Amino acid sequence: MKKAHWLLLLPAGIIIVLDQVSKTWVTHGIDPYETVPLISGFLNLVQVRNRGMAFGILNRTDTDLHSYILIAATLMAIVLILFWFKRLEDEAHSAVIGLSLVLGGAIGNLIDRIRSQEVIDFLDFHIGSYHWPAFNLADSAITVGTLWLAIYLLFLGQASTKSGK
């Protein structure tokens, strides 16, 4: 095996499983729109449905067209991630970890979109009455993976270029 395929597939698979298990637990354990305080004044568990993108963008119930557009966009993103992975040098393990996190998160939310045309969000961070939009483990993996890739591209990628790679 030329590339460390396991480094792409294993973390992505773990994220997909944890994401789906957590969403199943939330849908069976918390009523829709119920709030369960975990850390008073900071973190609640909720069950909300998001038919749109991050932060509720395109969260509309009057049309299904946007769901199909989001499914298509997610599939294109997955293809681009796999293409990027294929083009990486064998030593670019740091980039592969970031790609794996984004891949796992994208597939986790894609499963929801295909199954029910909406994504289950349940983590509600807030300070007092100021709430961050609810999100899930897949969203967290996408965010961390994207930041990981940005750091890689800005700092680590330049180091390998300077060393002649």
Active site residue 121: yes
Q: Is 124 a catalytic residue?
A: no
Q: Which of 19, 112, 124, 139 is catalytic?
A: 139
Per-residue pLDDT, 34: 94
Cα dihedral 126→113→51→105 (10° resolution)? 30
Q: Which pLDDT does position 50 carry in this prediction?
A: 86
Please give the backbone phi and psi of residue 91, each rounded to the nearest 5 degrees, phi first.
Answer: -90, 0
Checking if the pLDDT of 72 tops 90, the result is: yes
Q: What percent of the chain has pLDDT over 90?
A: 64
> Of 6-15, 43-52, 83-92, which range is least confident?
83-92
pLDDT at 163: 46
CA-CA distance, 40 to 83, in Å (whole number)?
44
Average pLDDT over residues 40-56: 83
Domain regions of the chain by residue span: 7-156
Task: Measure the N-to-C terminal CA separation of the chain; round to a whole number of Å.
Answer: 21
Percentage of the residues of the chain whose pLDDT score is greater than 70? 85
Q: What's the pLDDT score for residue 98?
A: 95
69: tokens are 């557009």
- 162 pLDDT above the threshold of 80: no
User: Helix (H, G, I), strand (E, B), or coil: what is residue 22?
Assistant: helix
- Residues 121 and 135 sit within 8 Å (Cβ to Cβ): yes
Distance from C-alpha of 21 to C-alpha of 95, rounded to nearest angstrom: 27
* Catalytic entry in 19, 112, 121, 124: 121
The residue whose two tokens read 């592969």 is 96
